[in-house]
Amino acid sequence: MAGLNKVSVDDINVKGKHVLVRCDFNVPLKDGVITNDNRIQAALPTIKKLIADGGKVVLCSHLGKPKNGPEDKFSLAPVAKRLAELVDTKVIFAKDDNVVGENAKKAVAEMKDGEIVLLENTRFRSAEETKNGEAFSKELADLVNDEVFVMDAFGSAHRAHASTAGVTKFVKETAVGYLMQKEIQYLGNAVEVPVRPFVAILGGAKVADKLNVISNLIEKCDTLIIGGGMAYTFLKAKGYEVGTSLVDDEKVSYCKDMMDKAAAAGKQLLLPIDTTIAKSFPDPIDAEIEVAVVDADKIPADQMGLDIGTKTQQLFADAVKSAKTVVWNGPMGVFENPTLAKGTIAVAKALAETDATTIIGGGDSAAAVMQLGFADKMSHISTGGGASLEYLEGKVLPGVAAIADK
C-alpha cells in the first residue's frame, strides 16, 4: 500500500472526452435545504480541472440511504442547484429514477466540452449496492461512451459498489481525483511510511469497532494512545474497577493481548491515568452535568467514566509534542456535551500546536475538530469515516484498488 501510486487527473487528457466522476455529495439536508456544503466544496478542484481541460463531465453520487427505490427526499436536485452556484459552467440535472434514463442519455448526448451533467442518486437503483450490479456498472460506462472514469469519493471507497468500483471494468481510462489523491497520500503514507516518531490516538465508544485498527497500529506506530469509551475495557483488563462505564466484556482478554503485544514490540501504549466521572450518561446529550475527576483505578462502583481527566490530558498532550506524524481517530469523551468535551479539546489543541503532520481520520474526530475550530491547524482531515478506519486497519479499499496504477 506504500505511497499508493495511482493515475491521477493530472496524468490524463480529457479534452473532448466524456468523464464519469464519482463524487461524495452525501450532504446533510433539512427540509430539502443543504445545511453543510463541505462535501460539494471538496469536490470542486477535481471538477474544475476536468472542465478547464475540456472534458464533458458527468457526475454521480449517492445521498442517504433510500430503502425502497427512489424517494424525493434523497434526490440530488439540491446538490445540482448548489453546484451551479459554485462553478462557471452549465450544470444539467438529469432527473431519472433509474439514474441512467432518457433524461441522462439526452443530456449527455447534447453536452459540449466543459459542461456538467449530474445524475440522480445512484442508490435509487438497488443494483448499486448488490453483487449483481454489473448491468448498472455497464450502463454508467456506456453513458460516457466507455471513455474515462474518475474516482473522487473517498468516503465510499471502502464499498465495492457499481459506481465506485464496478464501472472501472468497462471504461478505457481510470484515475483518482484530487480529493482521493490527498487521502491516499496522507493516510496511506502515514501508516506505511511515517516520519517517526509516529503517534496514533484512538478514541470513540467501542473496542469492537477498532479491533483490527488497534492491532495494525501497534505494529506501525511508536506510541498508541487509547481514550474515549473504549479505554474502560482496557482499564478493566488491567484489573481496575470501572463502575458503570461502557465496557465490552467480550473484549477484555483481547485488550490484555494488545497490551502484551505492545510491550513485546517495545511500543508505548498509553491509557488514561485519571477520568471524568458522573452518576449517569447526560440526557439529553448536551444537558448540564455534575462531574468529578478521579484516578483511573479509583472509579466508584456506581459512577461512569465519560471523558479523560486533567492529568491524562497533559499526558496525551506531552506524547504528541515530540511526534513527527500523528493520526487521530475517535473523540476522548462525550464531546457533544460542553462539560465532557475537555479531553477532546485538549487533544485537538495539542495537535494544533505541534509541527508534526497531523491526520484526522474522519467520523466523529473530524466533526469534533471542525466544531471546536481547529480544522485549519490540521495537515489533513479525512472525508471518510468508515473508509479511513479500514485504511488504518491496513485493508485494501475496493474503490482505490480498482483505479489504474501509474
Q: Are strands 304-308 and 292-295 parallel, antiparallel or unpaired?
A: unpaired
Pick out the residues of the known binding site for (2R)-3-phosphoglycerate: 39, 123, 159
* Catalytic residue chosen out of the listed positions 39, 220, 236, 342: 39
Domain layout of the chain by residue ranges = 9-179, 189-392
Pick out the residues of the known binding site for ATP: 210, 305, 336, 362-365
Tell me if residue 206 is catalytic. yes
- The reply to whether domains 9-179 and 189-392 share a CATH topology is yes
Tell me if residue 155 is catalytic. no
- Summary mean pLDDT of the chain: 94
* Catalytic residue chosen out of the listed positions 206, 238, 256, 267: 206
pLDDT tens, residue by residue, 141-194 = 999 999 999 999 998 999 999 999 999 999 999 999 999 999 988 988 888 889
Q: How many CB atoms lie within 10 A of CB 15?
A: 10
CA distances to 105, 159, 212, 391 from 395, in Å: 37, 12, 9, 5
Please return the burial class of 352, using the count of CB atoms within 10 Å of its CB with bins 0-12, 13-18 and 19+.
middle
Task: Tell me what pLDDT residue 1 has.
Answer: 41
Tell me if residue 39 is catalytic. yes
pLDDT grade for 395, boundaries at 50, 70 and 90: confident
On the CB side of 390, CA atoms within 13 Å amount to 16
- What's the CA gap between 321 and 361, in Å, rounded? 19
Q: Over 60: is that where the pLDDT of 13 sits?
A: yes
pLDDT tens, residue by residue, 327-357 = 999 999 999 999 999 999 999 999 999 999 9
pLDDT tens, residue by residue, 95-146 = 999 999 999 999 999 999 999 999 999 999 999 998 778 999 999 999 999 9
- What's the CA gap between 202 and 233, in Å, rounded? 13
CATH code 3.40.50.1260 for 9-179:
yes
- What's the CA gap between 248 and 106, in Å, rounded? 55
* Catalytic residue chosen out of the listed positions 155, 227, 309, 363: 363
Percent share of the chain, pLDDT over 90? 83
Q: How many CB atoms lie within 10 A of CB 113?
A: 14
* Catalytic residue chosen out of the listed positions 256, 386, 394, 395: 386
Task: Tell me what pLDDT residue 362 has.
Answer: 72
176 in Cβ contact with 307 (< 8 Å): no
Q: How many CB atoms lie within 10 A of CB 195?
A: 12
pLDDT tens, residue by residue, 170-181 = 999 999 999 999
* Model confidence, pTM: 0.86
Q: Which residues contact 254 (CB under 8 A, 6 or more apart)?
A: 207, 211
- What's the CA gap between 307 and 341, in Å, rounded? 7
- The three cell numbers of residue 372 are 471546536
Q: One-letter amino acid identity for 144? A: V
The CATH superfamily of 189-392 is: Phosphoglycerate kinase, N-terminal domain (3.40.50.1260)
pLDDT grade for 2, boundaries at 50, 70 and 90: very low
Task: Tell me what pLDDT residue 4 has.
Answer: 66
Pick out the residues of the known binding site for substrate: 24-26, 39, 62-65, 123, 159
Q: Which residues contact 238 (CB under 8 A, 6 or more apart)?
A: 259, 271, 297
Q: Over 50: is that where the pLDDT of 239 sits?
A: yes
Overall average pLDDT of the 51-62 stretch: 98
pLDDT tens, residue by residue, 36-52 = 898 999 999 999 999 99
Q: Over 60: is that where the pLDDT of 3 sits?
A: no
Residue 225's DSSP bridge partners are: 201, 270
Overall average pLDDT of the 55-82 stretch: 95
Pick out the residues of the known binding site: 24-26, 39, 62-65, 123, 159, 210, 305, 336, 362-365
Task: Tell me what pLDDT residue 383 has.
Answer: 82
